Amino acid sequence: MLSVLRNRTYRRLFTAQVIALVGTGLATVALGLLAYDIAGADAGSVLGTALAIKMVAYVAIAPAIGAVADRLPRRWLMAGADLVRAAVALTLPFVDQVWQVYVLIFLLQSASAAFTPTFQAVIPDVLPAERDYTRALSLSRLAYDTESLFSPALAAALLSLMTYNWLFLGTMAGFLASAVLVVSAILPKQAAPEPLGGGAYAKATAGTRLFLASPHLRALLALDLAVAAAGAMVTVNTVVYVRDELDRSAADVSLALGAYGGGSMVAALLLPRVLDRVRDRTVMLRGALLLTLVFAALGALTAAGAGPWRWPALLLTWAAFGAAGSMVLTPAGRLIRRSAPPEARTAAFAAQFSLSHSCWLLTYPLAGWLGAAAGLQSAVVALGLIALTAGLLAVRLWPAAQEPGPVEHEHSDLRAGHPHPVDAVRVRGGRRHSHDPLGRRAPRPPVRALSLRSSPHRPPYRPPSP
């Protein structure tokens, strides 16, 4: 897996990602302490609102960035986002009003919504070989999981030596270092963007329409919802299970969350070899099935009476949730890479970023409100049903016979006479055609199939250009 780090450009980008993640983790701890200083007993409400603002920024800003990202130098776009995040981190220690926290959090997360999809879209160009790209995806998954385990411990160690305001300075230094590494990386030449017709709304929603036009990407959206249901259950209700249900210490909350991250890391380590032999569809749908089975096990655990076995059972359940989520999320980049042509890749990753966080925006409050109002068992049943329904929908949307290849889709936003859909058939609302992820047209079908009357959904195709 570490062989991909021999690539100098990827090594710098990956190091920038890791440093920025550690800085974000430190800022999360410091933000909680800042909220307590400002709001006291209402700190939980402040943090909950800040989390909602974070998700809204992700959902709203990422598509807008995706609309213009391919028309801007990617290196400077990512470095600029890092500089904005550094400036916000530097400002946070000086705020003394709750509304100021909200404004700065929106700016911070908007910059992250610009950086992350652009970073994700660059990596397939840096590592064009699918084997290398798969290992880069696993490394990225490991980086996220390691940060969730390592950052709180690092923050605790630093807080024993300094006040929490210094953590914001550490965050700023991390983002500045990330910007330097990004600027020092020599990126491959990006694909020329297609001239898009329509207004700002059409450009901002181009990636989302690409998702909705491809059955594989629609299935990925359903799988994102299944993962969000499980992740919200873990994130929101771990403290309730550990402290109230099992009557264990606050330190055990970290152990439970560590089990979740550990399960995800183990799966990420194993997946590169698995994906060399097994199709993405098989791995991702089995991950969704495992999520449903784990929800069933959690329901039995929640309904069971007291017993010493419940604590190790919870740790195993959380580890299984992490492993199943990693089975779904790690190959997702491969799916987007195959299903979107290079010139639309940034918009596709931005749409994935926005739509997946829309799922979290739904499941986060659902996990909290149901758990508090109706009990943990009700939350388990509701979120488990969401995961099951989403998994079944993904199976239906992604038939076994289909793998990412020539993707049939519609264009409603290209100017008249644009050469890209020259072989398309006019349909209501646009033009429909098909090509593989590299933009090559699928082979032209036999002449008898050119009749729209006999094949209303199969347009004529042109062979690949020389």
pLDDT digits (tens, 9 = 90+) for 37-94: 887 766 666 766 777 788 888 888 877 776 666 677 888 888 999 999 999 989 988 8
Q: State both tokens at 51.
A: 């989390």
Whole-structure pTM value: 0.74
Residue 79 domain flag: yes
Pair 275, 186 in one domain: no
222 and 325 assigned to the same domain: yes
Neighbours of 58 (CB within 10 A): 23
**pLDDT confidence of 428, banded at 50, 70, 90?**
low
Dmax (CA) for the chain in angstroms is 78
Note the pLDDT tens digit of each residue in 315-332. Answer: 999 999 999 999 999 898
Check pLDDT > 50 for residue 348: yes
From residue 266, give the alpha-carbon distance in Å to each of 144, 145, 147, 240, 269.
13, 10, 15, 26, 5
Instruction: Please state the domain count of the chain.
Output: 3
115 and 155 fall within a common domain: yes
Residue 426 falls inside a structural domain: yes
User: Residue 433: beta bridge partners?
Assistant: 409
- Picking from 386, 282, 373, 265, the residue whose alpha carbon sits closest to that of residue 318 is 265
Residue 429 pLDDT greater than 60, yes or no:
no
Verify that 393 and 266 share a domain, yes or no: yes
pLDDT of residue 244 exceeding 90, the answer is no
In whole angstroms, give the CA distance from residue 191 to residue 345: 9
Statement to judge: residues 274 and 412 lie in one domain: no
For range 127-135, the mean pLDDT: 85
In this predicted structure, what is the pLDDT of residue 466? 38
Give the residue with greater pLDDT, 292 vs 21.
292
Residue 454 has pLDDT above 70, yes or no: no
The pLDDT assigned to 445 comes to 40
Least confident interval from 107-121, 122-136, 187-201: 187-201
Same domain, 326 and 416: no
Give the pLDDT score at 286.
95
Residue type (1 letter), 69 = A
Helices 215-239 & 310-329, crossing angle to 10 degrees? 150
Q: Please indicate, yes or no, if residue 462 is contained in any of the structural domains.
A: no
Cβ-based neighbour number of residue 159 at 10 Å: 16
Q: How far apart are CA 317 and CA 324, in angstroms?
A: 11
Residues 168 and 261 in one domain: no
Contact 128, 134 (CB under 8 A): no
Handedness of CA 258, 259, 260, 261 (dihedral sign): positive
63-72, 351-360, 413-422: least confident range? 413-422
Regarding whether 372 and 346 lie in a shared domain, the answer is yes
Asked if 426 contacts 461 with a C-beta cutoff of 8 angstroms, the reply is no
Q: What is the mean pLDDT of residues 223-245?
A: 89
Q: Same domain for 177 and 268? A: no
Quick one: pLDDT band at residue 456, thresholds 50, 70, 90?
A: very low
Per-residue confidence (pLDDT) for residue 382, from 0 to 100 = 95
386 and 294 part of one domain? yes
In a domain, 457, yes or no: no
Domain containing residue 292: 203-400
Q: Is residue 456 part of a domain?
A: no
CB burial string 389-427: b at 16+ within 10 A, e below:
ebbbbbbebbeeeeebeebebbbebbeeebebbebbbee
Cα-flanking dihedrals φ and ψ of residue 374, to 5°?
-120, -5
Helix axes 332-339, 280-303, angle to 10 degrees: 140
Cα gap 294→189, rounded to integer Å: 44
pLDDT at 133: 85
Mean residue pLDDT of the chain comes to 79
Least confident of 5-19, 180-194, 253-267, 451-465: 451-465
Q: Residue 166: which pLDDT band, with cuts at 50, 70 and 90?
A: confident
Residue 228 pLDDT:
93
Residue 22 lies in a domain: yes
The CATH number of residue 290's host domain is 1.20.1250.20
Distance CA 367, CA 382 (A): 9
Same domain, 302 and 427: no
CA 457, 462, 463, 466 dihedral sign is negative
Q: Is pLDDT at 164 greater than 70 in this prediction?
A: yes
In a domain? residue 465: no
Q: Does residue 442 carry a pLDDT above 50?
A: no
Strands (E) located in 118-251: none
Range from 234-248, 262-276, 428-442 carrying the lowest mean pLDDT? 428-442
Q: Is the pLDDT of residue 412 over 80?
A: no
The rounded distance, in Å, linking the Cα atoms of 65 and 95 is 28
132-151 pLDDT, tens digit each: 888 888 888 888 877 777 77
384 and 271 in one domain? yes
Could you read off the pLDDT of 262-277 as tens digits, one per residue?
Answer: 899 899 889 988 988 8
Tell me, yes or no, whether 71 lies in a domain. Answer: yes
Q: Does residue 406 surpass a pLDDT of 60?
A: no
Contacts of 365 by beta carbon, 8 Å cutoff, 6+ apart: 52
Please state the rounded mean pLDDT for residues 173-178: 92
